[in-house]
Structure 1
Amino acid sequence: MKNILLLLLLPVVLSYGQQPSKPLRIGIAGLSHSHVHGLLGSANRGEIQIVGIAESDRALAERYLKRYNLSLDLLYPTLDEMLAKAKPEAVTAFNSIYDHLEVVKKCAPLKVHVMVEKPLAVSLDHARQMEALAKKHNIHLLTNYETTWYGSNHQAYRMVYGDKSIGDLRKIVVHDGHRGPKEIGVNQEFLQWLTDPVLNGGGALMDFGCYGANLITWLLNGERPESVTAITQQIKPDIYPKVDDEATIIVTYPKMQGVIQASWNWPYNRKDMEVYGQTGYLKADRSTLSMQIGDDPIQQKQFPAPAFDNPFVYLAAVVRGTEVVKDTDLSSLPINVIAMEILDAARQSAKEGKTIRLKKDKK
C-alpha cells in the first residue's frame, strides 16, 4: 500500500519531447464535425497556424470564421484547391467519417500528414486502405480522441503496468455517450451525417463505441481480441430511424474480457472506464481516478491532463519530430486499425445475431 500512495503523489508527466518552435501549417478538411471548434479556438497558439480551410458549405464556413475572427481568405471550396494553394504540412479532417479515406487519398501522395477525428474510418476496408496509403507515402496518420487527453486514463495505465498495482487485468468496462446528438443540440450539419448509416457507419455503436475499442486496445498494448459480440437497439426510432442509438459490445481475450457500453440514451454526458485486476479496481473519469486495492478503502485522486493537452499541438510535435508516436499509443495507426476491426466485427455481430471470431494474426 505504501508504494501505491507514493505513486499517487507523483506528478503526471508523460514522456513527451519538447514542443516545436516553428508553427505547423495546418489545413482543415471540412467544418461539419463540431469538434472543429477545438482547433478553431486554438488558431492563435504559437505552435500551429491554420493556413487553409476546405468547405463547400459557405454559410457554415462564414458562420464559424466570423465566430473565431478568422479571415475568409482561408476558405477554399475544395480540398484539392486548398492543398494546391495553401500548401499545408498537415491536414485535420472534420468532415464525415466516410470522407476520411478521400482526405488521405488526396494528402498522402503530397506527403501531407493527416489527423482525423475519431474513429479512424467508416469501415475496416476504409481503414486498411488508409493504412496502406500512409505507409506507402510515409506520412503520419493519427486519430484524435478526447479521452486521449484525460490524466486519469494515463495514470490508470501506469498503475496497471508501472508497479502492477491491481494485478493481471481481468475486465475493462468503458461507458461513453450522452442523451443523444439531437437532444444535446449538435449543429444540423453534424447531425445530418452523424445519423446516416453510410456517412457515419452507424449510430451510437460507431460514435461512442470507438472510444472503448481504442482504450481497451491501448490498455492491452495492441492485442487483438479473440471474439466480438454486440447487441444494438433503436430505443428512439422516431428520432434516429436509420441507425442504432444503443450498443453493447463484448470483446474477449485469453484471460480478460472487455465491455463497451455506447449510448445515446444516458441521462448525462459520460466518458469513463472501470479497470478490474486480480487484486484491485480503478475507475478513470476525466481527471479523477478512484481506486481500491485489496480490502483497502476506496481512494480518489485528481490527475491533470498530460503534457500535450491539445491534440493539434501534439500533431505539430509529431510532424516536427520532437515527439515519437509508438505503435501502442492511443493516437497511433496500429491501435486504431484494431479498434476499427472491433467495430466492424461488432456491426456484423449485431446484424447477424452471433459472436464473430477474429482470425489470428499471420505471424
Structure 2
Amino acid sequence: MIPYGRQDITEADVNAVIDVLRSDFLTQGPIVPRFETVVSGHVGANYGVAVNSATSALHIACLALGVGPGDWVWTSPITFVASSNSALYCGAKVDFVDVDPRTYNLCADALEAKLRIAESDGRLPKVVIAVHLCGQACDMRSIHALAHKYGFKIIEDASHAVGAKYLGEYVGSSNYSDITVFSFHPVKIVTTAEGGMAVTNDASLAERMSLFRSHGVTRDPDLMTKETEGAWYYQQIELGYNYRMTEIQAALGISQMTRLDEYVSVRQALAKRYDDLLDELPLILPWQHPDTYSAYHIYPVRLKLDQIARGRRQVFDLLREAGIGVNVHYIPVHLQPYYIRMGFKPGDFPEAEKYYAEGITLPLYPTMGTQGQDQVIQSVTQALNR
C-alpha cells in the first residue's frame, strides 16, 4: 500500500532521540525550548510555544486571545474538526465561512460579505481561524485588512503549512495574524511523532499560552499574587492544561527541521510532476495562487464526474484495492452529526460541499519517489477508465 502520507525517519533522528533517552531529562528540560527557538527562528516569529498536538496549540491560542462564552469564532468548513472544536472547548460559538472554489481555503470575499451582515446583527467574530489547506496559505493580506476593519483577531491554522511561504515570507512570520499554529503529526511536513506549536510576535500572548499549556502554574515572581515563600514555591494563576511536549519529541523535531526546506522542495517537484502527468485526465488539479509557495502537505484532485463513468466512491474503492492509499480531506465540518445538532445543515456552504463531493487526496510524500508516483498515476488512469 502506498499511503497518502508517510514520515521519513533517518539515523540522525534516531540518534537525537537516543541522546535524550540517555540524558537527565525526558520532559521539562532544555530541548523543548531549543525546538521552540529553531521553529520560531526558521519562520521568522519572535516566540514559539511547543505542545503535545496542534489541537492543543489551537486551544491555547484561543484561550490566550480571550475566547470564551458568548464569543463567536469563525473558520473554514473544509478542515479537520480540531479547528472549530478548539473554540468550543472555550465555550464559544462557532460559525463557518465558505471556501474559495479554486484554493479551497476560506474565501476572503465570502468572509467580507458575512462580516457585513454580522456587523448589522451584532454578531461579529472575536477570532477568525484561517486554515491553510493542503499547505497553501489563505489570502492573508485581505483577511488581515478585514480584521482591522471589523476588529477580530486572527489565528492561522498552518497545520499543513510549516515550510510554506506567503508573499515571499514563511508562513508563521505572523505579519498577518496574531498566532500561527503548526502540526508535527507523522503525516505532516516534519514530525515529532505527535506534537504542535503556536508561534507569535506578541510576548504577552506567548506568556499566556505557556501558562495554559502547563496547568496555569508559574514560578515567576513577577506573575505571582504575593511574595514567593521559597525556592519550591509556585502558584496556579490560570486554569491550564497538561499540554506539554516531551524532550524526546522535541529532539526528533529539531533533527527533522534540518531537512524542512528539502522536504518542501521535493514535495513541490512531485506536485509539479502530478500536474504534468495528470493534466489530460478528467480531473481538476490543485490551483496555486501566485502569492503562495505551498508546502504541499497533500495533493487533492477533484473528479470531473460528468466525464467519467464511475462515481467518487467507486473510484476511491478501486484505488484502495490497487494498493493506493487515497483519502478525502475533508468531510465538511458542518455536516458532522455533532455540528448538525447545533443547527447546521446541508446547503449551508455550497462550495465546500461541492468540493467534498468531488474530492480525492492522492499520495504525496518525499520518499515515495517517481516510481511510487508512477504507480499512483497508472492506477488513477485505470480507475477513471476513460
With structure 1 as the length reference, what TM-score do the two structures score?
0.33
- The structure having more radius of gyration, on CA atoms, is 2
Query: Whose strand fraction is larger, Structure 1's or Structure 2's?
Result: 1
Query: Whose helix fraction is larger, Structure 1's or Structure 2's?
Result: 2
With structure 2 as the length reference, what TM-score do the two structures score?
0.31
